[in-house]
Amino acid sequence: MQHFSALDDATREKLFHLQPEQLHRSSDPGLLAVALGATLYSPATRAGLAKGVLKQAGSGCVSTVICLEDAIPDEDVPAAEQNLLDALAELNALGDAGELPLIFIRCRTAEQLLDVGRRAGADLAVVSGFVLPKFENETGRGRAFLEALQLLNQETGRTGGPDAVALRAMPIIEDPATTHLESRIRVLGDNLALINQFRELVLCVRIGTTDMSSAFGLRRSRDLTIYHVKVVANIIGDVVNIFGRPEDGWVISGPVWEHFTNTERVLRPQLRATPFEAANETELRQRLLTDNLDGLIREIELDLANGLLGKTVIHPSHVPVVHSMCVVSHEEYLDALDIVGGRGGVMASSHGNKMNELKPHRAWAERTLLRARAFGVANPGVSFVDLLEASMK
C-alpha cells in the first residue's frame, strides 16, 4: 500500500519532494495509525461487499471499516454477519492481502467480536482489526472488548511478529458516559489508563460525533463544520486534552463527514477561489462545491489544527480530499527539519515568515515528519489544489 500510488511516475515526480512510503500490515503501528487517512465505512449488508473493497483499494483507499453496528437494523444482523464472512472468504481466496486496504470490522459487542472472528477462521487473515464502538469502561465494556481481541489473537496465532501481525483495536469515543459533562473527564481518564494497559493492541483512537450530537438531539448541516456545534467541539477538545498529549503518543482521528450530495445552501461557499484560479482549476472548484466537498475541506483543516489526523468518510469522493489535505507542505517540512535538527533556542523559519522555537515546537515537528512519511512532502509551490486535481482525474 502507498498513498497516491495510482498516479503515474511523472505526475508523482512533479508533485512530490518526498514520496509517501510503502506501507505494509507489518509496518510500525505508529506509522500505520498516521497513514490511515480517509477510513471509508460500508454497512456489512452491502451487496458485492468484496468487490467494493477491491474498488476502494483501486481508488486510493488505505483503510476501510465494515460495520455490523449502527449501520445494520437489529433484525438484519445474522444476514449481515454471513455477508461479511462470505466477503472475507472471497478476498482471502485472492491470495494477496497486500493489495487490499487495511480492513477493520465494527462489532456491536465483545461477544460478537469473538464469534465473528472465530467463524471467519483462516479468512481472518485479510482483517487488520476491529473498531470498538461506544468505548467506555464504567460498565466494563471497554475491557471486555480488549480482552476478547487479546483472546482472539492468541487463538489465531496473531502474536505480533512480521508474519503474524496482531489484530488491532480502534476504540471510538462516543458513548454518553464520555459525552455528558458530569462524567466525561473521569471516564475519559479511565479509558486512557485502559488503552495504555493494552497498548500493544490499540492502533488509534477515533471520535464518534454522530453519537455525541445525538445525545443532544443535534445534527450539523453541510454548511457547518462540527466545530460550529459548540457542545460537541468542547467534547473534542477534552478528548484531545486527555488522549492527545505527546507523551502518550495516541493518534486521534477526525470525526465522520456525512454529506455527499448537493443540497440547497444557506451560507456562502467556504472555498476561496484564489488558489484554484492560480492553479487554473476553476472547474475543479465548482465540482467540489457541487459535491458538498468545500465543507469537508474546511473541517479537515480544523481537524489538523485541533490535533486530529485522518477522517471517517462514507463516500469514495471524500478519499482524495482527505489525502490531499494530509500531504505535508514543503514549508512545513523545512520547519520540522529545522526544529528536530536544532539544539534549542529560537530561529527564523527557512521561509523567513515565522519564528520556530525548537523546544515548544518539537512535538509538532516530530508528528509532522511522521505524517510526511505516510503522505509525502509536496514540492515547492505545489498546493492541495494541485494534489487534488491530480487525484480526482
- Write down the pLDDT at residue 259: 76
- Write down the pLDDT at residue 57: 87
One domain, residues 160 and 304: yes
**In the listed set 326, 352, 377, which residue is the last one of a domain according to the structure?**
326
Q: Calculate the alpha carbon distances from 237 to 36, 188, 304 in Å.
A: 22, 12, 13
- Whole-number Å distance between alpha carbons of 323 and 336: 20
One domain, residues 145 and 225: yes
One domain, residues 221 and 231: yes
At 190, which amino acid appears?
Answer: D
One domain, residues 300 and 353: no
Domain count, the chain: 2
3-state secondary structure of 141: helix
For residue 81, give the C-alpha cell: 454477519
- Write down the pLDDT at residue 90: 96
**In the listed set 286, 311, 326, which residue is the last one of a domain according to the structure?**
326
- Write down the pLDDT at residue 280: 55
Count other C-beta atoms under 10 Å from residue 364's C-beta: 16
One domain, residues 225 and 369: no
- State pTM to two decimals: 0.91
- Write down the pLDDT at residue 135: 97
Enumerate residues 6+ apart whose C-beta is below 8 A from 93. none
One domain, residues 273 and 388: no
One domain, residues 207 and 305: yes
Residue 216 belongs to what domain range? 25-326
One domain, residues 317 and 352: no
Buried b (16+ CB within 10 A) or exposed e, 25-51: bebebebbbbbbbbbbbbbbbbeebbe
One domain, residues 345 and 302: no
- Write down the pLDDT at residue 341: 84
**In the listed set 284, 303, 326, which residue is the last one of a domain according to the structure?**
326
User: Residue 26 has what DSSP assignment?
Assistant: T
For residue 159, give the C-alpha cell: 502474536
- Write down the pLDDT at residue 313: 93
The secondary structure of the chain in percent helix, strand, coil, rounded to multiples of 5, reads: 50, 15, 35
- Write down the pLDDT at residue 385: 85
- Write down the pLDDT at residue 118: 98
- Write down the pLDDT at residue 273: 64
One domain, residues 143 and 89: yes
One domain, residues 391 and 348: yes
**DSSP-assigned states of every residue in 33-68:** HHHT-EEEEEETT-TTHHHHHHHHHHTT--EEEEES
- Write down the pLDDT at residue 10: 96
One domain, residues 14 and 110: no
CATH number at residue 138: 3.20.20.60
Write out residues in the chain with pLDDT < 70, as ranges: 97-98, 260-282, 284-292, 343-344, 393
- Write down the pLDDT at residue 43: 96
